[in-house]
Amino acid sequence: MGQFIVREVRRVLETVRILKSYGGTTGKWVVSYAHPWTVISPSVSFGPISVDFGSFLGDEWEWENGFTIDY
Protein backbone atom coordinates (compact mmCIF):
# COMPACT_ATOMS: atom_id res chain seq x y z
CA MET A 1 0.00 0.00 0.00
CA GLY A 2 1.33 3.45 -0.92
CA GLN A 3 1.79 6.56 1.17
CA PHE A 4 -1.12 8.98 1.36
CA ILE A 5 -1.60 12.72 1.81
CA VAL A 6 -4.18 14.26 4.18
CA ARG A 7 -5.16 17.83 3.30
CA GLU A 8 -7.16 20.49 5.20
CA VAL A 9 -9.16 22.89 3.02
CA ARG A 10 -11.03 26.00 4.27
CA ARG A 11 -11.09 24.85 7.89
CA VAL A 12 -13.28 21.87 7.05
CA LEU A 13 -11.25 18.77 7.66
CA GLU A 14 -11.85 16.08 5.10
CA THR A 15 -9.59 13.08 4.83
CA VAL A 16 -8.72 12.60 1.18
CA ARG A 17 -6.44 9.67 0.46
CA ILE A 18 -4.45 10.05 -2.74
CA LEU A 19 -1.40 8.02 -3.65
CA LYS A 20 1.81 10.06 -3.56
CA SER A 21 2.59 8.81 -7.07
CA TYR A 22 -0.07 11.32 -8.26
CA GLY A 23 1.95 14.20 -6.71
CA GLY A 24 2.23 17.26 -8.93
CA THR A 25 -0.98 16.48 -10.83
CA THR A 26 -4.28 18.30 -10.34
CA GLY A 27 -7.58 17.17 -8.94
CA LYS A 28 -11.07 18.58 -8.57
CA TRP A 29 -13.56 18.36 -5.71
CA VAL A 30 -17.17 18.80 -6.91
CA VAL A 31 -20.06 19.26 -4.48
CA SER A 32 -23.80 19.73 -4.85
CA TYR A 33 -26.36 20.47 -2.14
CA ALA A 34 -30.13 20.78 -2.35
CA HIS A 35 -32.68 21.91 0.22
CA PRO A 36 -36.32 21.49 -0.86
CA TRP A 37 -38.91 24.05 0.23
CA THR A 38 -41.73 21.53 -0.10
CA VAL A 39 -42.29 17.88 -0.91
CA ILE A 40 -45.52 18.73 -2.73
CA SER A 41 -45.35 19.03 -6.52
CA PRO A 42 -47.79 21.84 -7.42
CA SER A 43 -50.30 21.52 -10.24
CA VAL A 44 -53.19 23.60 -11.62
CA SER A 45 -56.34 22.18 -13.23
CA PHE A 46 -59.11 23.98 -15.15
CA GLY A 47 -61.63 21.42 -16.35
CA PRO A 48 -59.88 19.05 -18.79
CA ILE A 49 -56.65 21.15 -18.84
CA SER A 50 -53.99 20.64 -16.19
CA VAL A 51 -50.46 21.90 -15.72
CA ASP A 52 -47.95 20.12 -13.48
CA PHE A 53 -44.87 21.85 -12.16
CA GLY A 54 -42.52 18.91 -11.83
CA SER A 55 -39.41 21.00 -11.38
CA PHE A 56 -37.52 21.13 -8.10
CA LEU A 57 -38.77 23.79 -5.70
CA GLY A 58 -36.05 24.87 -3.30
CA ASP A 59 -32.45 25.96 -3.01
CA GLU A 60 -29.67 24.19 -4.86
CA TRP A 61 -25.95 24.97 -4.67
CA GLU A 62 -23.08 23.56 -6.69
CA TRP A 63 -19.41 24.39 -6.42
CA GLU A 64 -16.05 22.94 -7.30
CA ASN A 65 -12.54 23.35 -5.97
CA GLY A 66 -9.42 22.59 -7.98
CA PHE A 67 -6.18 21.64 -6.26
CA THR A 68 -2.66 20.45 -6.94
CA ILE A 69 -1.67 17.21 -5.24
CA ASP A 70 1.42 17.64 -3.02
CA TYR A 71 4.36 15.27 -3.18
71 compared with 67, residue with greater pLDDT: 67
Distances (CA, A) of 21 to 65, 67, 69, 71: 21, 16, 10, 8
8: confidence class by pLDDT, cuts 50, 70, 90 = low
Handedness of CA 8, 11, 13, 16 (dihedral sign): negative
Examine the pLDDT at 5 and tell me if it is beyond 70.
Answer: no
The bridge status of strand 26-36 relative to strand 12-13 is unpaired
Residue-wise pLDDT for 48-63, tens only, equals 888 776 667 788 889 8
pLDDT at residue 25, as a whole number: 92
- Answer whether 18's CB lies under 8 Å from 4's CB: yes
The distance of Cα 62 from the centroid of its chain, to the nearest Å, equals: 6
Handedness of CA 35, 37, 40, 43 (dihedral sign): negative
28 compared with 42, residue with greater pLDDT: 28
